Structure 1
Amino acid sequence: MYIQYTMDQLCLLLDLEEDILQSHVVRVVNAAVNQTNVSIFASAHPGGGRDQDAY
Structure 2
Amino acid sequence: MQKQDLNVGFKDYNPNQLMFLPPSLEELIPLNHPGRTVNQIIDQIDLSSVYNRFSENGASSYHPKLLLKVLVY
| Structure of greater relative contact order (alpha carbons < 8 Å, 6+ residues apart) | 1
Larger radius of gyration: 2
TM-score under structure 1 normalisation?
0.48
TM-score under structure 2 normalisation?
0.39
